[in-house]
Amino acid sequence: MVFASRQNFPFTVPAHYSVNYVQNTSSFQETMSQLSTEMRKALTSAREDLNRVHTGMDGVPDLLNKMILLLRHAPPDLLLMEFPDSFHDIDKLVNNSLLVLRKPGKNFEQVLNLLIEIDYLLNFTSTDEIISLQVYDVKTQWSLLTELIIELAKQAEIASNSFSLQLKWLLAEFVKPNTTFTDSNHDFIISIIMEKVIELDQTSDLLGIVTKTYTDISFQFTDEQISSYAHLLLLTDEVERKQYLNQFRYGLPPVAVQIARRALKQHVEFLERDKNRRAKYQ
């Protein structure tokens, strides 16, 4: 944004290329403003979506524990009546959360497509090399963030599908009328699903960690910074430009340290909970 405030130029569009994402190829400044707006929307929307996912998934451990308690202690009649409902409650909650979790990846991909196109057009445009390098760096970092969000949704979906298939098989084979439940039946079913229960509990916990960390970081740092970037396009004085550059240059390390400390704290707490995860279902 600082460099864009210093110079504006049109993109050179190759004759064979059809522009898909840049709204105004005649203005680099307007394209930077477009990029800033779309980044802010994607990050803000992701925070809202992840909060919805966390709210939904936060109830999963209690439902899992209820299901295990039913298997351990419920008489056959109550088990036949309550266990399918318990499973369907979990299945519905998780699937609804996964639908929301897919949205941030799509939004981040849209911004990435814009960055890829800007980077591509700059290869054919005569301009300061540092601008091309900056855009390439932002594209690389945003690509990594997009991959992280998409992989998160993918792993959560794998864990959910595995759990769902296992429980559906148990319902079809064991939890049905005229089934005689002995202690060995209970123990066998619990032994089969326990690993899936632990896996889904871990996934729910991990989503909660990612959501909390992302929400705290994006709300306190990212949103504030990106919201101010559009203002940088209005800078006309070179002294002001240097002041802003120094502000970001010296302000970034403390922010990075705070983010790293938060992430490490969440990671340590997750590992501690992981040690005792199985015990809470015993």
The string of pLDDT tens digits covering residues 29-68 is 899 889 988 988 888 888 888 888 777 777 888 888 888 8
Burial of 115 (0-12, 13-18, 19+ CB in 10 A): buried
pLDDT, average across residues 131-152: 88
CA–centroid distance for 236 within its chain: 37
- Contact indicator for 281, 198 with CB cutoff of 8 Å: yes
Q: In percent, how much of the chain has pLDDT > 70? A: 85
Of 18 and 269, more confident: 18
CA–centroid distance for 182 within its chain: 43
pLDDT at 224 over 60: no
Predicted local confidence at residue 103, as pLDDT:
86
Q: 222: which 2 tokens?
A: 């990212």
pLDDT, average across residues 202-217: 77
- Contact indicator for 209, 262 with CB cutoff of 8 Å: no
Q: In percent, how much of the chain has pLDDT > 90? A: 17
Of 277 and 27, more confident: 27
pLDDT at 223 over 80: no
Q: 131: which 2 tokens?
A: 């601008």
Q: State the amino acid at position 82 in one-letter form.
A: E
Least trusted range by pLDDT, from 8-22, 130-144, 187-201, 243-257 = 243-257
Of 165 and 170, more confident: 165
pLDDT at 227 over 90: no
Predicted local confidence at residue 182, as pLDDT:
64
Give buried/exposed letters for 72-83 (b at 16+ CB in 10 A, else e): eebeeeebbebb
pLDDT, average across residues 212-233: 65
pTM metric for this prediction = 0.76
Name the nearest CA neighbour of 2 among 128, 179, 160.
Answer: 128
Predicted local confidence at residue 276, as pLDDT:
82
Give the ranges where 58-75 is alpha helix by DSSP (H): 60-73
What's the CA gap between 239 and 178, in Å, rounded? 83
What's the CA gap between 243 and 91, in Å, rounded? 54
- Contact indicator for 190, 72 with CB cutoff of 8 Å: yes
